[in-house]
Structure 1
Amino acid sequence: MTAIFTFTLLILFQISFGEELNEEKRLLLSDPQQIQSEIHALQQEVEHFKVLAAEFQAQKQENQALKAEVADLKQTFGLQEADLNQRFGLLESSSQKSGSIYIRWGKHSCPKLNGTELVYEGTAGGSYYTETGNGANTLCLPHDPELLPDHFTLKSDGGHFSHIYGGEYQFSLGKVVVQDDVPCSVCRVKMATSSMMIPAKRSCSIGWSKQYSGLLTANTYYANKNEYLCVDEDPDFIERSRQNENGRLFYPVKTICGTLPCPPYKNATLVSCVLCTM
């Protein structure tokens, strides 16, 4: 009985409290100040959303401008890269057509330096050491000569011809001995425009690059003249019989004081040499 009474009171309290809440809501909605306050709050929220929309639009425009700038930069960079590649290609092509050539006497190969390449290797050739004619210069004759065709015939005045012979060492140095045949190699320095042989030096001047150093050679003093040539200080030889066939002979050069100032030179000493490029 008591429980039923208590339950009944709770239901009546809830009904009464609910009616009071509904009445309070009706009073708030009918209050002009409350309505004005709600409208003002809504207006503030609308203004806030307008500000956010304006900021979003500005950010969108800024992003579009940045995208356009990036596209321009990409296009500009692409053109610059293409221009650089073209210029580099032209420089590389130009470097393939330019350079400086020299002969390395006494070697089968060119120095293992950056920008130096072998054009061809061969054997030294020139005038016989006692003949008064022929050519004065020494040649690097390739190992794979191409002969004139059979139909290429001519008649020389008086039947006379010039001669060319192979070269022989007339000294022993390292692995070569007297009578060994002299090899040579034609070298090209791609990143250079000048080359020179400096006698009596083993180093190059400032700004020049050393290709090799060696021993100054020429014909013997009592025979016919030929060139002063710089033979590599670590000479090679051509593999064949070591017969004394003479030909274009390579003798070491020694100093003779008198007209040659001593000092700085010293009498009867071998002369060094170096090949430099720039």
Structure 2
Amino acid sequence: MLHVRVFAVLLSWIFVVFATNAIEDDSKRLLFNDPQSVQTLLAQYESELQNLRQRVDVLEKDNQSKGSSTFVRWGKKTCTTDNNTELVYSGIAGGGGYGYAGSGVDSLCLPHNPDTSNAESLLHSTARSEAGLLYGSEYQMNFNKVYYDDDVPCAVCRVRSQF
């Protein structure tokens, strides 16, 4: 008797599941033995593949035509007025300390608003002795509109290539 009840409950559950799916799902099942359905689906996939290939070609050409180079203008806040040149950011010149070892030898164009999120943790860590320190550059002369101890401006510029 218990088997009959379990079978009845199971049969009722299966009926509810199939009835719910039939109500919610109006799409047809794909029959692989139906050549027309397979051919239609294959044509849709080929069309989508062709569209994707065309999009990739356009994006590759667009990417190639947008090549660029960057350079730094030391002592200036702006880029040249050339049509293909644009300002990435302006900042102040900086680099390693004048009398200190380490920190590198290259000058850097430092942004006015640097990301200092890791600076506080570095100052209190054991790695502090391994960190290179950066200092801002200043003019050490008076000339025209440049005054003693003024920061040295810089501008990072990008030139878009023309193909």
Question: 2:134 matched to which residue of 1?
Answer: 164
Question: 1:113 matched to which residue of 2?
Answer: 82
User: Distance in 2 between the 1:132 and 1:178 partners?
Assistant: 25
User: Distance in 2 between the 1:180 and 1:108 partners?
Assistant: 13
User: Distance in 2 between the 1:151 and 1:183 partners?
Assistant: 26
Question: Among residues 71, 94, 106, which one is paired with 1:125 in the alignment?
Answer: 94
How many aligned residue pairs are there? 106
Larger Cα-atom Rg: 1
Q: Is the 8 A contact 2:65 2:162 kept in 1?
A: no
Offset of 1:113 from its aligned partner? 0.6
Q: Deviations over 1:106-154 (max 9, x none)?
A: 1111111110001111111112222233211111111121122589564
Offset of 1:90 from its aligned partner? 5.6
Identical columns (%): 40
Q: Deviations over 1:67-121 (max 9, x none)?
A: xxxxxxxxxxxxxxxx9xx86x76554333x211100001111111110001111
User: Distance in 2 between the 1:94 and 1:152 partners?
Assistant: 41
Q: Is the 8 A contact 1:103 1:186 kept in 2?
A: yes
After superposition, the Cα gap between the structure-2 partners of 1:109 and 1:102, relative to the gap in structure 1 and judged at 3 Å, is: same
Q: CA RMSD in A?
A: 3.0
| Structure 2 residue 158 is matched with structure 1 residue 180 | no
Structure 1 runs of 4+ off > 6 angstroms? none
**Greater relative contact order, per chain length (Cα 8 Å cut-off, separation 6+):** 2
| Structure 2 residue 122 is matched with structure 1 residue 190 | no
Residue 64 of structure 2: SS of its match in structure 1?
A: helix
Q: Is the 8 A contact 1:100 1:192 kept in 2?
A: no
After superposition, the Cα gap between the structure-2 partners of 1:115 and 1:148, relative to the gap in structure 1 and judged at 3 Å, is: same
Q: TM-score, with normalisation over the residues of structure 2?
A: 0.54
